Structures are given as structure tokens and as C-alpha cells.
């Protein structure tokens, strides 16, 4: 993007001049839906500042070539025509529209002679839009006309984006329309620094320096480790990543519907402070975020909060005007609140949706805090691997460490897969189990496996690969870990030894496994004297909960396994 542009905002009522639509554009095509949406947005926004999408033009002699914004500007023209028709004290639209190859359309737009609306397709769409506008106003005629007229004069702006005469208008039109790549707030804010009407206020050398630093920030934010520390967004939400920094400064919340809210805020800001100061604020904000990323403790605390649902905006606001020690205290309070419950975590159940979410959040904190507290700060929790894999979100679910149920296991293929997974475990535990293995293999080879036959064999396998006491703790936190097994019902319903073997294979292939999940299946928490390699039992549950209590002692009351605390 060059600096040969003029960029500003204008109240709709202040749009002046003659606009012509070149031959490379089709005619007016907005439907009833789009016309009503524009009117509703303006009306519902009321007296608050509101910014419409950019109108992109190129000055040619005494008129403007309208490169982008034809549909919007034509609709505004029709709104003014209607308001003039119902209130003769209002003025005609202050701008005109003409067409390089559609002389009759220009005349129809001026006269709105509805007897000709069927003469061609352009007339039909213009007439349809005008009637839609008429019907919308007539729902509350006097009130709506007075309000819309006032809002367009005092509250609603368009973004005026004027390119230089040397700009390739057809190429720009193609990018903005055919390719469906709209101007973003980030592009507009960047243009604000580089546009020719700001050349007097900012040296050319400074503009070039800003352009280089801007590209540097964008490049650094494409470091996936930094990006997924700051956000849970994989794609779609940000067309350019520097938008994240600009949105923070503008105070744009995720719920904000206005697409150009951020640019509008910067446009207001430049009326109060110099462009140089605005750039310093952008760069300093980025350096603050990068500083958090490079600080081992802040990286993990803030990363946890963002991953578990706290907005970056909230954390950023919390950091303002605070010493580092005060900021850390505030973060700790947020973390405590995020896992605070009334009662004991051991009483929560996997089967209850709210409990499921609470246990998931606590185990996420357990994983992140375990890595944060590792000796020598040698490890960092990999938020990018946890959230992102091959361009899509990674979904971590709460899984049973040792399963003894048949959740989601409804087909012969899944039953046979379950039996296949468990044969190596039955073989490995020692003793004489050849009859059971033969029975399992027979069921796998059967043309048709009946549910009753599978369930009978399954109970024998579970009896062999389970230890007493597992059933009553089946859905408790002592038997749950974060896993990404997707829709693999056979694996989800497998016993500890099968899952352990699968985790080891995943690890060998370099797949990411959350730190504590790996520790669970490697029996890291269980004292070696009590370690039964193929089973998950009482000693394992007690050791697991002790580890959670030790790591999260700053944030939660100790978890107590009621039935096992005295054993």
C-alpha cells in the first residue's frame, strides 16, 4: 500500500460531489435484506458514533470514479430521495451518481418513475430498494424520518478512501469485490499513517520507519507460539494479526458488531494526539504483549487465563498503571476465581455438564502450572500445540483414565476394535488366559457379532484388567485426564493399560500429549512400591490427587477423596 491516498471519515450528510460508476462494475443489486439491514443498523445504533464501510474513490478532473461502495452509496441516495419526498423541507441528496455506460439508469435514479421499473434489470433493483425503504419508514413515518435524517447528519460516518490518479482502479476493484477481500481496519489504520494528506505532519522517513515496524509486528505475530499464547483464534477472526493489537488499544470487545469500530476509534484519536504518539502507543502495546510472552511466569498465568476463556482485553485493562507485583496479584485472583467452587472437587461428576467443565478447567490449570513450576524453567507449556493442529482447533475432552463402560459403542466394528485393542493387554499381564484370548479372537473374526456376546466377553476382560474400587470412582476427577482421542469410541472406552499403550505410541510419533496426561499414563505420580503397571487403582488415584493438590495449593482447597482418605 503506497502513501498516495487520502483517508478520512465524513458524516454521510457531508458527502459531496459527482460520482460515476465505471463500465467494469455491474449495476445496483442490493436486495431487500441488505437495504433493511443498513436502515436497522443506523436506527438501532441511535446517537452513538457509527461508521459505515469504506467508499473507495479516485479523483478524475471534477468528479470521482467510484471504485468500491456503489451499492451502499446508491442506497443512501435513495434514502435521501425518499426523505425529501415525504418532507419537502429536507434537501435533495448532496451528491449525484452517474454511469459510464448506463445513461438511462442515471435518469431513472433521479426521477424514480415507477412506470419504467420493468424496462431493465437495473431499474427493477433500484425500484425494489426504494419501495423497501418506503415500507421501512412507514412503520413509524414521522419518528423514523426525523431520526434517520439527524443520525446521517450527526452520528453516521463513511470511511473516505481516496486513491491517487495513478492507482490501477480495475485491479483494486477486483481485489475488493471479485476476490471478496474487504479493506480491514488494520489496512485503514496503516493508511492513516502513510496517506499523503498526513505528509505535512510526518516526515517521509518516519512514514517508512512505521511501515517497516508495522510489517515487523505482523511477522512476529505469525510466530504460532506467540499468537496462540495471546488468542484462541485459529482463523477467520483476524485477517491480519496486528488487528489484535489495534483492537486492544481501541477497546474493541468480541461482542462489538461494528466492523470498522477499531479504525473509527483511531480516527477519533488522531484528532486528540499526534500520529507519532499514536504509533508509539501501538508499538508499546505490542512490546507489552511480547514482554508477557517472554516472562516465564506471566506467560503461563496469562496463557492459562486466555485459554480458559478470560479475554485479552480484560487482562490488558488489568495491567494498566500497575506494578508487576500488583499485576501478578490480580492475575492470581482471576485464576482463583476461575477454579473456585463451593465444595470439594472430588464430589464433581463427569456425567454432569457443569461439573465436566469445572473439572476440565482445573485439569488445564494443573497441566499449565506443572510445566510452569518445572525446575529451571526449562519447559514452557505449548499453547500453540494445545490449541492448533493443521489449521484447525484441537478439541481436548475429559476422558476416563480407566474406563468400564460402553459409552458411544453401538456398532460391530467398534466392538471388534475394542476387543483388538485389549488382546495385547490380556496377553501381557501374565497367567493363563488363552481361552479368553481365543474367545476374543473368535468374536473379532465372526461375520456377525451379537451385542450380548460382546458384552459377555467385555465383562471378563474388564474383570481381568480392573482393580476393586474402580467403579465408585469411575466419573470422579481421580479417574479423569485431558485427552484428544476425537471420536474413537473404542479407545475412549478402553481400560488403563490399553490407553497407556496408545499414549506411548502417540508420544513416539511426536504427537502432542498434555504434560500431566503423559505423567498419569507413565505412572509418574505413583510411588514405585505401589506401582501396578497395567492397572489404575486406589494407590494411583490417591497419588494423582495429591499431585493436583500440591501443584494447585495456591488456588484451591485440597481435594479429598472421601472414601479413600483413611486407607
Rg of the chain (C-alpha set): 32
Return the minimum-mean-pLDDT range out of 55-59, 74-78, 437-441, 535-539: 535-539
- The per-residue pLDDT for 427 is 83
pTM of the model: 0.77
Span 76-84, mean pLDDT? 97
pLDDT at 567 over 90: no
CB 207 within 8 A of CB 275: no
Residue 566 binned pLDDT confidence (cut-offs 50, 70, 90):
very low
Average pLDDT of the chain, as a whole number: 87
- At 41-59, the pLDDT tens digits run 999 989 988 888 889 999 9
For 19, phi then psi, to 5°, come to -110, 135
In 3D space, the residue among 542, 549, 504 whose CA is nearest the CA of residue 526 turns out to be 542
| Top-confidence residue, 295 or 102 | 295
Q: Return the pLDDT at 300.
A: 97
The one-character DSSP state at 389 is: E
Give per-residue burial for 208-217: e unless 16+ CB within 10 Å, then b: eebeeebeeb
pLDDT single digits (tens) 485-519: 665 666 777 888 888 888 888 889 988 999 999 99
Q: Which residues pair with 397 in a beta bridge?
A: 483
Would you say residue 266 has pLDDT above 50?
Answer: yes
State residue 434's pLDDT score.
84
pLDDT confidence bin for 278, thresholds 50/70/90: very high
**206 within 8 A of 276, measured Cβ to Cβ:** yes
Specify the range with the lowest mean pLDDT, choosing from 132-146, 231-245, 327-341, 498-512: 231-245
Predicted confidence (pLDDT) per residue in 347-362, tens digit: 999 999 999 999 999 9
Q: Which pLDDT score is estimated for 1?
A: 43
**Percent share of the chain, pLDDT over 90:** 51
Mind listing the pLDDT tens digit for each residue in 182-214?
678 888 898 888 775 554 556 778 888 898 999
Burial class (CB in 10 A: 0-12, 13-18, 19+), 564: middle
What pLDDT score does 469 carry? Answer: 60
Angstrom distance (rounded) from CA 217 to CA 282? 10
Burial of 343 (0-12, 13-18, 19+ CB in 10 A): exposed
User: Within a 10 A sphere around the Cβ of 304, how many other Cβ atoms?
Assistant: 24
pLDDT score recorded for residue 487: 56
- Tell which residue, 192, 302, 181, 317, has the closest CA to residue 252: 317
Q: pLDDT, tens digit, for every residue of 96-109?
A: 999 887 778 888 99
Rounded to 5, what percent of the chain is helix, strand, coil? 55, 10, 35
- For the record, the C-alpha cell of 140 comes out as 413509524
Share of the chain above pLDDT 70, in %: 91
Q: DSSP characters for 155-205? A: TEEEEEEEE-TTS-HHHHHIIIIIS--PPPHHHHHHHHHH-GGGTTTS-HH
Q: Say whether 10 sits in a helix, a strand or coil.
A: strand
Amino acid at each position: 500500500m503506497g502513501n498516495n491516498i487520502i483517508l478520512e471519515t465524513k458524516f454521510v450528510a457531508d458527502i459531496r460531489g459527482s460520482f460515476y460508476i465505471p463500465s467494469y462494475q455491474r449495476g445496483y443489486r442490493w436486495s431487500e435484506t441488505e437495504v433493511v439491514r443498513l436502515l436497522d443498523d443506523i436506527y438501532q445504533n441511535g446517537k452513538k458514533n457509527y461508521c459505515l464501510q469504506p467508499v473507495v474513490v479516485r479523483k478524475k478532473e471534477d468528479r470521482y470514479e467510484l471504485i468500491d461502495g456503489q451499492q451502499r452509496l446508491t442506497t443512501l441516495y435513495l434514502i435521501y430521495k425518499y426523505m425529501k419526498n415525504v418532507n419537502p423541507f429536507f434537501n435533495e441528496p448532496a451528491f449525484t451518481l452517474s454511469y459510464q455506460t448506463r445513461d438511462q439508469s442515471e435518469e431513472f435514479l433521479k426521477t424514480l418513475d415507477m412506470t419504467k421499473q420493468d424496462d431493465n434489470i437495473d431499474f427493477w433493483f433500484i425500484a425494489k430498494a426504494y419501495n423497501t425503504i418506503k415500507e421501512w419508514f412507514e412503520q413509524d413515518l414521522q419518528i423514523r424520518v426525523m431520526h434517520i435524517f439527524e443520525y446521517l447528519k450527526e452520528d453516521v460516518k463513511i470511511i473516505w478512501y481516496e486513491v491517487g490518479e495513478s492507482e490501477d482502479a480495475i485491479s483494486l476493484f477486483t481485489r475488493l469485490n471479485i476476490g471478496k477481500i474487504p479493506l480491514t481496519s488494520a489496512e485503514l489504520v496503516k493508511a492513516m499513517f502513510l496517506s499523503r494528506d498526513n505528509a505535512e505532519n510526518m516526515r517521509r522517513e518516519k512514514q517508512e520507519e512505521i511501515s517497516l515496524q508495522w510489517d515487523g509486528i505482523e511477522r512476529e505475530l505469525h510466530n504460532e507460539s506467540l499468537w496462540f499464547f495471546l488468542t484462541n483464534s485459529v482463523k477467520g477472526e483476524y485477517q491480519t494479526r496486528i488487528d489484535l493489537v489495534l483492537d486492544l488499544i481501541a477497546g474493541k470487545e468480541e461482542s462489538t458488531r461494528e466492523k470498522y469500530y477499531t479504525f473509527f476509534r483511531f480516527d477519533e484519536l488522531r484528532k486528540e494526539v499526534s500520529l507519532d504518539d499514536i504509533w508509539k502507543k501501538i508499538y508499546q502495546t505490542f512490546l507489552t504483549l511480547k514482554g508477557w510472552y517472554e516472562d516465564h511466569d506471566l506467560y503461563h498465568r496469562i496463557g492459562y487465563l486466555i485459554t480458559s476463556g478470560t479475554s485479552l482485553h480484560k487482562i490488558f485493562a488489568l495491567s494498566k498503571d500497575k506494578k508487576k507485583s500488583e499485576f501478578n496479584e490480580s492475575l492470581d485472583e482471576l485464576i482463583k476465581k476461575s477454579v473456585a467452587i463451593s465444595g470439594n472437587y472430588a464430589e464433581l461428576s463427569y456425567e454432569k455438564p457443569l461439573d465436566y467443565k469445572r473439572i476440565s478447567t482445573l485439569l488445564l490449570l494443573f497441566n499449565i502450572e506443572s510445566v510452569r513450576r518445572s525446575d529451571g524453567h526449562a519447559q514452557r507449556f505449548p499453547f500453540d500445540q494445545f490449541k492448533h493442529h493443521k489449521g484447525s482447533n484441537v478439541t481436548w475432552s475429559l476422558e476416563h483414565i480407566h474406563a468400564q463402560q460402553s459409552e458411544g459403542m453401538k456398532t460391530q466394528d467398534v466392538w471388534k476394535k475394542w476387543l483388538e485393542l485389549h488382546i495385547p493387554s490380556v496377553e501381557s499381564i501374565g497367567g493363563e488366559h488363552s481361552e479368553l484370548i481365543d474367545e476374543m479372537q473368535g468374536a473379532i473374526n465372526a461375520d456377525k457379532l451379537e451385542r450380548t456376546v460382546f458384552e459377555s466377553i467385555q465383562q471378563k476382560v474388564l474383570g481381568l484388567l480392573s482393580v476393586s474400587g474402580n467403579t465408585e470412582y469411575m466419573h470422579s476427577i481421580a479417574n479423569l485426564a485431558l485427552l484428544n482421542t476425537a471420536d474413537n469410541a473404542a479407545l475412549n472406552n478402553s481400560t488403563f493399560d490399553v490407553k497407556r499403550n496408545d499414549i506411548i505410541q502417540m508420544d513416539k510419533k511426536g504427537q502432542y500429549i498434555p504434560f500431566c496426561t503423559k505423567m498419569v499414563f507413565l505412572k509418574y505420580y505413583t510411588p514405585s512400591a505401589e506401582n501396578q503397571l497395567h492397572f489404575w487403582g486406589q494407590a494411583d488415584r490417591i497419588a494423582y490427587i495429591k499431585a493436583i493438590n500440591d501443584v494447585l495449593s495456591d488456588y484451591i482447597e485440597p481435594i479429598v477423596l472421601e472414601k479413600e482418605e483413611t486407607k
